[in-house]
Amino acid sequence: MTTPARVAAFSAVLLGCGAPTNTRQRDTTLLPSTPVTSAVPDWRRGATCYEVFVRSFYDSNGDGIGDLRGLTEKLDYINDGDPATSRDLGAQCMWLMPVAESPTYHGYDATNYYRIEPDYGTNADFTRLVVEAHRRGIAVIVDMVLNHLSSEHPYFRDALGGPTAPHRAWFRWSATKPAELGPWGQEVWHRSPLRDEYYYGVFWQGMPDLNYDTPAVREEAKRIATFWLTQMGVDGFRLDAVPYLVEEGATQIGTVGTHAFLREYAAHVRAVAPTAFTVGEVWDGIDKMLPYYPDQLESYFAFDLSDDLLAAVRTGSASALMRRFQRFQQEVPNARWSTFLRNHDQTRTLTALGGDTQRVKVAATLLLTLPGTPFVYYGEEIGMTGDKPDEQLRTPMQWTASAGAGFTSGTPWEPLNANWPTTNVAAQETDTTSLLAAYRTLIHLRAGNTALGRGDFLPLVASSDAVAAYLRRDGTTVVLVVANVGQAALSNVTVAFPSGALPAGTYAARSLVGANVSPISVAADGSVRGYVPSVTLAPMKAHVVQLSPSP
């Protein structure tokens, strides 16, 4: 949720939000009687994660707001738990944007970390969702916002009382307004509504930053993690805005203290739930990401790769994309990064690619056959569109062409996208050429093919920059991907494999996605020179083939 371009618009959105109706800090009557069991421990092998904004997914009671019961009803769309079927997406992981009680529609400013947002239901509704998700083999990770909370939170309201308030040290204060500005030149010191003093909030005055120099704050963050892991049954966390956790003098981003706390937090999560997954938002390039490895969170979103994936299909050149993935593989072991095309803060993929569905299909093919843990934002799989402001990136899911797009029987909390009558799940359900069909095929393929799910990555050299060519290898399981990301057909493009790429011999190429390509002859040193996958490579088409030694 953190980029310079978003801060002004983001603040404007929040200014219109009302106060919560309930500010109880921890109501133990809402806890389930027994902990929820975990999902399968090795779910990450080949998994694709599906990002869901609960408010916009499915409304079960007609109030126009998506809720947890509605999401539970739609779990079979995400994964029905039956590997013999293919009418589900096949995702084995689900990331829920914030579901804790909050005064805003998006939830990135909690008033109660221990209570489900009442618009979405109850704690019991959440634990039932988790049980049903686990029954289908879907791991559940939730957004956890540690940097700040809501200015409506009881602890901040208490701290406004002055220097002797019990929670005063939970926040940063100044008797006079410091001259320092934020990372993007924004105001970060905000005047108290009650006293002649100022508090620190890097994103907005409605989101006061927590002070992690205070031991009680660190301990509370860990208690919250324990609650969600043991009582609510989640399988991990997406950690929001982690570079901003600890400020040190004039340094506001990526401080020594931030890295130290992330180590402490991650160690606590692993101690409570050894198989829990943590993925952090570090909205920056790889050089700024690397200091967060190897011993802090398990994974971080690779914003570089998102940009390069879209740039490749927009410009018709794949060379920069291949170099970037190769660098990630060299710098970060075991593919501990998370890939995506777009998320809830960014222009949707189809909009960013000018409405060209073929470009989206190629981008999705690359995303779901390259290394990392891929995330798919809800609605991307049917080609939902949307651009800033943020609410228009988070519009209701388009299920049918009926009133309310099948999302609600009432009035949607946010107006539907204009394309909902033609762009919806029902319209694509049985169309084998649809974007939805492509996503289903690719997600299931990744889950069932060990080379795509966890294999290493070997970029190949193509004679045209418009061609992305690479191998994914896991033992004897080998997959070749050749994609023409350009706008024109290409003839007689050659692909070279380096020495040691494969054992010597002849390999048959069986199509998994796209058309068949030519067999491959591998030299004694394991290299291939002058290989022509197909006499003609059609524009915006990808071929994914399994290589098997010929008898």
Report how far residue 316's alpha carbon sits from residue 427's, in angstroms, rounded to the nearest whole number. 30
What is the C-alpha separation between 537 and 352, in angstroms, rounded? 25
CA dist 418 → 146, 404, 465 (Å): 36, 12, 37
DSSP code of residue 225? H
Tell me if residue 240 is catalytic.
yes
| Encoded amino acid at 341, one letter | L
Q: How far apart are CA 405 and CA 417, in angstroms?
A: 10
Question: Nearest CA to 96 among 61, 56, 131, 134?
Answer: 56
| Contact indicator for 54, 71 with CB cutoff of 8 Å | yes
Beta carbons of 372 and 366 less than 8 angstroms apart = no
Residues 337-371 as b/e (b if ≥16 CB within 10 A, e otherwise) read: bbbbbbbbbbbbbbbbbeeebebbbbbbbbbbbbb
3-state DSSP call for residue 8?
helix
- 3-state SS of 278-309 is EEECCCCCHHHHHHHCCCCCCEEECHHHHHHH
Q: What are phi and psi of 238, to 5 degrees?
A: -100, 115
Are 539 and 510 spatial neighbours (Cβ–Cβ below 8 Å)?
no
88, 117, 125, 281: which is the annotated catalytic residue? 281
Which is the catalytic residue, given 125, 209, 240, 298?
240
CA-CA distance, 165 to 163, in Å (whole number)?
6
DSSP class of residue 148? B
Neighbours of 246 (CB within 10 A): 23
Angle between the N-to-C axes of helices 435-448 and 357-369, in degrees from 0 to 180, rounded to the nearest 10: 10
- Short-list 24, 7, 136, CA closest to 73: 136
One-letter amino acid at 384 equals M
The verdict on whether 298 is a catalytic residue reads: no
Q: Please, what is the Cα angle at 292 between 290 and 296, to 5 degrees?
A: 140
CB 342 within 8 A of CB 352: yes
Give the integer Cα–Cα distance in Å for 54 and 293: 31
Helix 319-331 to helix 303-315 angle (10° resolution) is: 160
Q: Sheet containing 456-459: give its strands across.
A: 456-459, 467-474, 477-484, 541-549, 505-513, 520-522
Find out whether 221 and 265 touch, Cβ atoms under 8 Å. yes
Catalytic positions: 240, 281
